Amino acid sequence: MPLDLADYEAKARSAVRKFWSGRKKAANKQRTGGKADQGERSAVTAGSNMNGFVNLVVDIVHANGLPDAEIMLKRRLLTLPGFFRPTKLWDLLVIYQGRLIVAVEFKSQVGSFGNNANNRCEEALGTAVDLWTAYRKGAFGESKRPFAGYLMLLEDAPKSRKQVKDVSPNFPIFPEFKNASYAERYNILCKKLMEENLYTAASVILSPRTASKSGMYSEMSDITGLESFVTTLAGHIAVEASKSQRK
């Protein structure tokens, strides 16, 4: 049975439109109300700007054989036990027949590239190390390794595309990072997260602020593109569905 990618391109464009329009509405609402939480921060703290991508993942799960899976979206149901900390709050979990099938982190970055890029990298690494250590220690029972996903939407802007120079006075940095822009750094991050088996699939897509109507987005590479992400996810779900049918 072929994998069903649930018309992901159209849904991704819709998700991008919702992302930018959601940020704009949140910022305008708080400015109108005269609250201190304004500008970029008000848009970020709205909290639901990536919901279009959450819905895309839900559709992939349903379309590839697990329509009865428990999909956790409410905050109180999104925690998993950790190893280095008591719990970790994820953005989406899929549980089927008592087994953890999918855990996904949805991230975005708009502006403040220099301040936030390293933080995002450290968050991604810490989350993955904690998840897999807890998994090896039996935190999720006896089950196949779950799908761990990382999806980043980055603002496509001159500053995110501009070359960045780093200084490392004691030892040289890896050559792929020399003069790499923040967009390129995220692409490198996602590739290495998968190479080191820290995430099953990791994707970065770029979109300009002007995409609130068009839903336009672009990708850095096939490996870290959205098609690769949803295809890997769909394959994982299809395998789980096939196992369930054989029981």
Helix residue ranges per DSSP H, the chain: 8-32, 39-44, 51-63, 113-136, 158-161, 182-195, 226-246
Number of H helices, E strands in the chain: 7, 8
Q: With respect to residue 1, please indicate whether it lies within any of the assigned structural domains.
A: no
The boundaries of the domain holding residue 203 are 8-246
pLDDT, tens digit, for every residue of 51-71?
A: 999 999 999 999 999 999 999
Q: With respect to residue 3, please indicate whether it lies within any of the assigned structural domains.
A: no
Label residue 27 by pLDDT band (50, 70, 90). Answer: confident
Quote the mean pLDDT of the chain: 90
- The yes-or-no verdict on residue 46 having pLDDT over 50 is no
Question: Are the C-beta atoms of residues 49 and 23 closer than 8 Å to each other?
Answer: yes
Measured in whole angstroms, how far is the alpha carbon of residue 189 from the centre of its chain?
12
Provide the number of structural domains found in the chain.
1
Which residues does 2 contact at the CB level (< 8 Å), separation at least 6?
Answer: none
Q: With respect to residue 84, please indicate whether it lies within any of the assigned structural domains.
A: yes
Q: What angle do CA 64, 65, 68 make, to 5 degrees?
A: 125
DSSP state of 114: H
pLDDT, tens digit, for every residue of 149-195?
A: 999 999 999 999 999 988 899 999 999 999 999 999 999 999 999 99
pLDDT at 42: 38
Which residues does 118 contact at the CB level (< 8 Å), separation at least 6?
Answer: none
pLDDT at 57: 97
Q: With respect to residue 55, please indicate whether it lies within any of the assigned structural domains.
A: yes
**What is the arithmetic mean of pLDDT over 106-134?**
92
Between the CA of residue 93 and those of 75, 88, 99, what are the distances in Å? 11, 12, 11
Residue bearing the bigger pLDDT, 46 or 89: 89
**How many angstroms separate the CA atoms of 79 and 75, rounded?**
8
pLDDT at 24: 82
Measured in whole angstroms, how far is the alpha carbon of residue 62 from the centre of its chain?
19
Give the 3-state secondary structure percentages of the chain, helix then strand then coil, rounded to 5: 45, 15, 35
- The yes-or-no verdict on residue 40 having pLDDT over 90 is no
**What is the arithmetic mean of pLDDT over 124-153?**
96
Q: With respect to residue 229, please indicate whether it lies within any of the assigned structural domains.
A: yes
DSSP string of 149-164, one letter each residue: EEEEEEE--HHHHS--
